[in-house]
Amino acid sequence: MITSLLKGSLAIGVLLSCHAIAEPSDSTDVPEIRPGLLMGYLPMDNPLRSDEFVPPPPAAGSAAQAADDAFSAQLLATQDKDRFELARADAHLGPDSTATFSCAVGININRKDTPHLQMLLRRTLTDLGLASYGAKNAYQRERPFMSNQQPICTPEDEEMLRGDGSYPSGHTAIGWGWALILSDLVPDRAEQILARGIAFGDSRNVCNVHWRSDVQAGILVGSAAFARLQSNADFLEARALARSEISAAKANGDDPTGDCEAEKETLSK
């Protein structure tokens, strides 16, 4: 069991080392498996076996790989500066990345204003990201920048990314899983939240670090991990606290402080 826990911690640590910023945990009851990275709700010694339901990535020379190549080339040729910067921000998976969905949800998501919601998202970040590694380790697909030799939005992560499988996208699993959790908590904002979840995955294509099929597979993994969380008592208890917190924030008129109009305009391009 100890060996399994260590392997799981190292795997999720590789994914989350992209811009992960160490910050003390908000609760002494939730241990950190790495600085700034909280233990999730699901048991790490029995992770979701994504290799058993995620199909293999497109084979070299296949029509599916040609479609991935064409999509990547199209993005590189039409890259928008503002969208590229948003993709760079989406690459960040530190404790404050929970604020990514603030505009979509319609309230500020942070440690001060919504501590229960932020804790819920920080812990599920680990669950959702770890769920991708069964398939990642099984397939070990190379990333698009290794093929097209074009820049990525986080060049400081290039060496680490070269050694981490591209398929499926762990970032996408996290973003889509968060979108499912949040749309369940705030159903009247489901359309905006789910659209932001899709855009979070698209950011990995914009960054030139994932193929389109990586992102599609990441959505599958995020959905599966979200389904598994529904039977976890600790998650369900935390979700109830977050739901009450969101209701209070909305009643108090705690609107997002970020530039939501600019985000909306960037994502509409």
Catalytic residues, which ones? 171, 204, 210, 214
Q: SS3 of 44, please?
A: coil
Q: Is 152 in contact with 145 (CB distance < 8 Å)?
A: yes
Burial class (CB in 10 A: 0-12, 13-18, 19+), 138: middle
Interhelix angle 115-130/170-185, nearest 10 degrees: 140
d(CA 124, CA 118) in angstroms, rounded, equals 10
User: Is the dihedral angle over the CA atoms 74, 78, 82, 84 positive or is it negative?
Assistant: positive
Exposed (0-12), middle (13-18) or buried (19+): which is 261, by Cβ within 10 Å? exposed
Selection from 64, 65, 56, 93 nearest residue 200 by Cα: 93
Phi, psi of 156 (to 5 degrees): -65, -15
Pairwise CA distance, residues 179 & 185, whole Å = 10
Tell me the C-alpha distance between 234 and 256, whole Å.
28
Whether 61 and 144 have beta carbons less than 8 Å apart is answered as no
Distance between CA atoms of residues 200 and 90, nearest Å: 6
Bridge partners for 37 per DSSP: 34
